[in-house]
C-alpha cells in the first residue's frame, strides 16, 4: 500500500515492495487513485520478475543491489514523450554523476551511460508511459551490480555496467531528483530546449573516444556523427559517413562502439 512520506501540497506517496512483476505494471493498477489525487506517487521494488524497457525489451532486474522504481504524476500537456524522457535522464545524470567514476552522460533516446577507459557502459534507463493523463516514469539503475550484457542482432554483445554505488545512497539521490522537481508536470518545450542541446553536446564529446553507430531494424548499422536533438520532438539528428545532409530519426537505436572495435 502507499504511505504518505511528504505531507505537503502536492503530497508525495511511496509504495515499497520486495518483489513485483514490474513497477510500471504495479503503478498502472493504481492509476485511478493517481488521477483523483494530485501529487507524486512512487512505486519501488527490490527486484522485478518481468521488468521491461523500450519496445518491450526485458530489463534484467533480479539483483537487490540495483534500483527499480516508477514515478507518477500528471503528464505535462503538449510535451513529446521523447523530450520529456531525455530531460528526466539529464536530471538523474546530474544527481548521480558526482558519485561515479568516468564520464556519466545521457544517450538518446533513454539510456544512462558511463564512458570509462574508452568504453561506454549502459548503467540505466528510463521508460515513460502515459496512461489516462498520468506520466509513469520507470527508472532502472545498476547501482551495485551489472546484469551482464545487452544483445543486438547486428552488432553482437554490448556492455552493461554498474555505478558501484551503495543502494541507500543511490535511492536517496534518485528520489530526491524527482521530489525536488515535483513541478515536472509544468514543464514546457521552451524550458527544455537548452537541456536537449546539452545532451547532444555530451554525446558529441564522447565521440572523441567511440564510434557512434545507428541501427534500425532490418538495416545495416551505420556509423554516424551527432548533429543534435530536435527540441520539438526529441528526434535524434544525425549525419552518416556518406551523407552530406543530416536527417532526423525517431526509431532504431544508437550504440557507442570503442574505436578499437571492428
Q: What is the mean pLDDT of each run of 10 residues along the chain (262 residues)?
A: 89 95 96 90 94 69 86 88 92 91 92 91 92 94 80 76 92 92 74 93 94 89 92 91 69 86 48
Q: Which residues contact 132 (CB under 8 A, 6 or more apart)?
A: 31, 35
State residue 31's pLDDT score: 96
d(CA 181, CA 176): 8
CATH architecture observed for domain 3-200: 2-Layer Sandwich (3.30)
**What are the cell numbers at 120?**
561506454
pTM of the model: 0.91
State residue 147's pLDDT score: 74
**Three-state SS across the chain?**
CCEEEECCCCCEEEEEEEEECCHHHHHHCCHHHHHHCCCEEEEEEEEECCCECHHHCECCCCCCCCEEEEEEEECCCCCCHHHHHHHHHHHHHHHHHCCCCCEEEEECCCEEEEEECCEEEEEEEEEEEEECCEEEEEEEECCCCCCCEEEECCCEEEEECCCCCCHHHHHHHHHHHHHHCHHHHHCCHHHHHHHHHHHHHHHHHHCCCEEEEEECCCCCCEEEEEEEECCCCCCEEEEECCCCCCEEECCCEEEEEECCCC
Q: Which residues contact 188 (CB under 8 A, 6 or more apart)?
A: 76, 78, 79
Torsion, Cα 186 191 195 197, to 10 degrees, reads 150
State residue 77's pLDDT score: 82
Give me the residues paired with residue 14 across strands: 3, 42
Q: Which residues contact 185 (CB under 8 A, 6 or more apart)?
A: 73, 74, 75, 76, 135
The structural domains of the chain, with segments of one domain joined by +, span 3-200, 206-258
State residue 149's pLDDT score: 63
Amino acid at each position: 500500500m502507499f504511505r504518505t512520506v511528504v505531507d505537503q501540497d502536492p503530497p508525495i506517496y511511496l509504495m515499497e515492495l520486495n518483489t513485483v512483476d514490474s513497477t510500471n505494471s504495479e503503478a498502472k493498477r493504481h492509476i485511478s487513485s493517481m488521477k483523483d489525487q494530485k501529487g507524486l506517487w512512487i512505486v519501488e521494488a527490490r527486484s522485478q520478475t518481468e521488468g521491461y524497457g523500450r519496445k518491450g525489451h526485458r530489463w534484467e532486474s533480479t539483483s537487490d543491489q540495483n534500483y527499480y522504481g516508477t514515478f507518477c504524476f500528471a503528464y505535462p500537456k503538449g510535451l513529446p514523450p521523447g523530450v520529456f524522457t531525455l530531460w528526466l535522464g539529464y536530471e538523474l545524470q546530474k544527481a548521480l554523476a558526482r558519485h561515479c567514476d568516468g564520464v556519466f552522460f545521457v544517450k538518446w533516446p533513454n539510456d544512462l551511460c558511463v564512458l570509462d577507459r574508452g568504453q561506454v557502459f549502459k548503467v540505466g534507463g528510463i521508460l515513460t508511459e502515459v496512461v489516462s493523463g498520468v506520466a509513469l516514469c520507470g527508472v532502472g539503475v545498476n547501482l551495485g551490480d551489472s546484469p551482464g550484457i545487452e544483445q543486438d542482432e547486428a552488432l553482437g554483445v554490448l556492455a552493461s555496467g554498474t555505478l558501484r554505488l551503495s543502494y541507500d545512497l543511490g535511492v536517496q539521490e534518485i528520489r530526491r531528483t524527482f521530489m525536488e522537481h515535483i513541478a515536472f508536470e509544468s514543464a514546457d518545450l521552451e524550458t527544455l530546449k537548452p537541456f536537449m542541446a546539452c545532451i547532444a553536446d555530451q554525446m558529441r564529446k564522447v565521440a572523441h573516444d567511440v564510434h557512434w553507430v545507428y541501427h534500425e531494424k532490418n538495416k545495416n548499422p551505420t556509423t554516424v556523427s551527432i548533429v543534435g536533438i530536435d527540441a520539438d520532438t526529441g528526434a535524434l539528428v544525425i549525419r552518416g559517413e556518406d551523407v552530406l545532409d543530416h536527417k532526423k530519426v525517431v526509431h532504431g537505436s544508437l550504440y557507442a562502439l570503442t574505436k578499437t572495435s571492428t
